Amino acid sequence: MNDEILDGYTRVSEILNYYSGLEKVPQNVLERACERGTIVHNACEAIIQGFGVDSSCYEYETYVESFMKWYELYDELDVKLIPRFYDDKLKITGLCDCIVFSPKKTILVDFKTSYTESKTWAVQGGAYCMMAANSEPAIQIDEMHFVHLQKNGSKPVIYKYDIQENVDRFMKCLELYRYFK
């Protein structure tokens, strides 16, 4: 997906960065994690689009194996990559990894390759769900799942978070971000 941001919009991740604790992580570790996340996310997108995986993700193939254990549960459903969300009123933007459309519910999904769960995941998801509901056409999200892909290739851990509670949390974070910026 194209990650170019329109002028005047702030990324959800930038707003939440202060709360992530990442400033305590050494820069070389962050760079490696960013590389891992980008490569694995690109591989997951390629699989969802039906292209398969090329050899560029060999070093992280166990994360892709973990993803496949999740994807096999949903591949009969309508799993779609969604363009970046833009909220013109709040001037924020964010990109979830995919949305699963089933006859019973619509699930916003974000894949994670970090070592541990972050408290910001739920708040990030709340922002994405809010932007989905405000998008054109509107997408009503029933559940949000953060799929924590496992380094050893095992079944991923799926974190399910309350949407409205985390929309409210995000709005508080946005207010504080703008106050201090």
pLDDT tens digits, 114-154: 989 999 999 999 999 999 999 999 999 999 999 999 999 99
The residue written with tokens 């194996």 in the block is: 65
For residue 77, give Cα distances in angstroms to 56, 107, 144: 27, 11, 16
pLDDT at 77: 86
> Does 1 have pLDDT greater than 80?
no
In contact, 111 and 60? CB cutoff 8 Å: no
CA distance 177 to 54: 40
Yes or no: say if 173 and 123 are a contact pair by the CB < 8 Å rule.
yes
The token pair that represents 44 in the structure block: 């997951």
Average pLDDT over residues 32-54: 91
Q: Is the pLDDT of residue 60 over 60?
A: yes
The CATH number for 10-180, chosen from 2.10.25, 1.20.1440, 1.10.150, 3.90.320, is 3.90.320
User: In the predicted model, is pLDDT for residue 56 greater than 80?
Assistant: no
Handedness of CA 70, 107, 16, 94 (dihedral sign): positive
DSSP line for 56-71:
GGGGGHHHHHHHHHHH
Query: What's the predicted TM-score (pTM) here?
Result: 0.92
Q: What are 98's two structure tokens?
A: 């995919």
